[in-house]
Amino acid sequence: MRLATVALALLVAAPAAAEPVRVGSKKFTESVILGEIAAGLLRATGAEAEHRRELGGSRILWNALLSGEIDVYPEYTGTLIQELLADAPGDLSDPAVLSAALASRGLASTGRLGFENTYAIGVRQDLAEQRSLRSIGDLAAHPKLALGFSNEFMEREDGWPRVRSTYGLEALNAQGLDHDLAYRALAAGEIAATDLYSTDAEIAHYDLRVLQDDRRVFPEYQALLLVRADLDPAVLEALARLRGAIPPQTMIGLNARAKLERVPEARVAADFLATLDVTADVVETGRAARVLSTTVDHLELVLVSLIAAILVAIPLGIVAARRPRLGQWVLGGVGVLQTIPSLALLVVLIPILGIGAPPAIAALFVYSLLPIVRNTHAGLTGIPTPLIESAVALGLPPHARLRRVELPLAAGSILAGIKTSAVINVGTATLGALIGAGGYGQPILTGIRLDDTGLILEGAVPAAVLALLVQGAFEIAERAWTPRGLR
């Protein structure tokens, strides 16, 4: 008894393990590099830190910071002023006013990093010479040119909407696509112009002409680190070492090493930190270990969401079959859920469930319902009437009839629905990487960003193999569970 009391006292008195500092980054290379630099600097100074990379766009990272899902992420003053704090009072271009607006939300900045990464519009040099394109306004004289902008730029108030109205480009056709894919489309001549980040290494690599913004449509985009104000002061002090430490040409060089030379971002970050006399460890992970890790993450997303869907969808299908009027509402409801775009559903769930696996599992659960509910309903309503009448004649009560007759007869249809949901889940789960859920989508997302076919295949091939294995496993189960006389 005395030993138990002492042990309990020691347990209560022991300090809780420190939570790691969670560094986030957006899904473009510069942000990932800055995230690696911040995380590496914190680890080198003795703090626990993890980097939750490629979490999507500005709004996702901003909301995650406000909710405490992450503690630090790289941002730009123009995005803060024009998008994230657009409703804040005062002149946000004044650093003191901007700091006060952040403080009112429990946030702070570690100071500007030393470079600006503003938006720009770029075209190929040969096209610029042919069409006499010098400034953004010159595009108005060529309404048949096809423009391709990053999806975020298409929607941002400080992006295409302002450029179009300021320069009178309403007649031009613009489409949204991934920022990294836009460079390749521009080089291939599939689009005439795209939005650039001024520190992109591809500007020089593809020999692009940056069109003059003579009407100053783009604000200043000074890079900084946003942090939660309640972080340990030692963490804030460590991150402050990056203030003014990254000049523009240095950032362009870091981007070039990652994008053009295919050097891992962690290594790029560690080499930069070495110039600040900071030693950051880089753990090199082999392809086999990476595939194993992403497989575990992917299976977790698929299995948890599928099991939850089975537990909910089969009873819903039974209700729909037993009560036809209510069944129409049940089938209609799950059908409507199936039509919600997956990316939209993920973003909607973030404020409720945060980032990472929970919102991804919830979205996969929603998309798993329809095939199982519909097939359960179809299997039960498709049972020949004489068989049901025979069970009634034998005196079986409704619950026993359902368990011993109807569900075994409908087993083939129900399993087919589960199999369909499982295969769909394997593919859809790759989108979870956009909100930090991991899985096979992580190497695919990184491969697209870095134009690395090997990384894309590292996620795509195992996903395809897993889908085939799942389908084969359910076909075996369907044969084993279906009564011999019904095969």
The fold adopted by the segment(s) 119-211 is D-Maltodextrin-Binding Protein; domain 2 (3.40.190)
The fold adopted by the segment(s) 17-116+221-274 is D-Maltodextrin-Binding Protein; domain 2 (3.40.190)
Q: Is the pTM of this model over 0.85?
A: no
Q: Residue 99 is encoded by which pair of tokens?
A: 């700091």
Judge contact between 458 and 290, C-beta under 8 A.
yes
Using alpha carbons, list the distances in angstroms from residue 397 to 182, 317, 382, 401: 64, 20, 20, 6
- For residue 112, what are the β-bridge partners? 224
DSSP 178-220: -HHHHHHHHHTTS-SEEEEETT-THHHHTTEEEEB-TT--S--
At residue 460, the pLDDT reads: 92
**Widest Cα–Cα separation across the chain:** 90
Residues of the chain with pLDDT under 70: 1-18, 481-487
C-alpha angle 431-433-438 in degrees, rounded to nearest 5: 125
Beta carbons within 8 Å of 67's beta carbon, 6+ residues apart: 351, 354
At residue 482, the pLDDT reads: 63
Same fold, 17-116+221-274 and 287-486: no
Three-state SS sequence of 415-433? HHHHHHHHHHHHHHHHHHH
> In the chain, what are the domain boundaries?
17-116+221-274, 119-211, 287-486
Residue whose pair of structure tokens reads 């630090």 in the numeric block: 72
- Specify the amino acid at residue 87: D
At residue 406, the pLDDT reads: 82
CATH superfamily entry for domain 287-486: MetI-like (1.10.3720.10)
Residue whose pair of structure tokens reads 């995005």 in the numeric block: 79
User: Using CA atoms, how far apart are residues 395 and 426, in angstroms rounded to an integer?
Assistant: 44
Q: Strand 146-150 vs strand 173-177: parallel, antiparallel, or unpaired?
A: parallel
Q: Residue 276 is encoded by which pair of tokens?
A: 């600040």
Q: What is the tens place of the pLDDT at every residue in 421-454?
A: 999 999 999 988 888 888 998 899 888 888 788 8
Residue whose C-alpha is closest to residue 84's, from 279, 226, 259 = 226
For residues 45-65, one letter each, b for 16 or more C-beta atoms within 10 angstroms of the residue's C-beta and e for the rest, the string is bebebbbbbbbbbbbbbbbbb
User: Using CA atoms, how far apart are residues 143 and 135, in angstroms rounded to an integer?
Assistant: 15
At residue 484, the pLDDT reads: 65
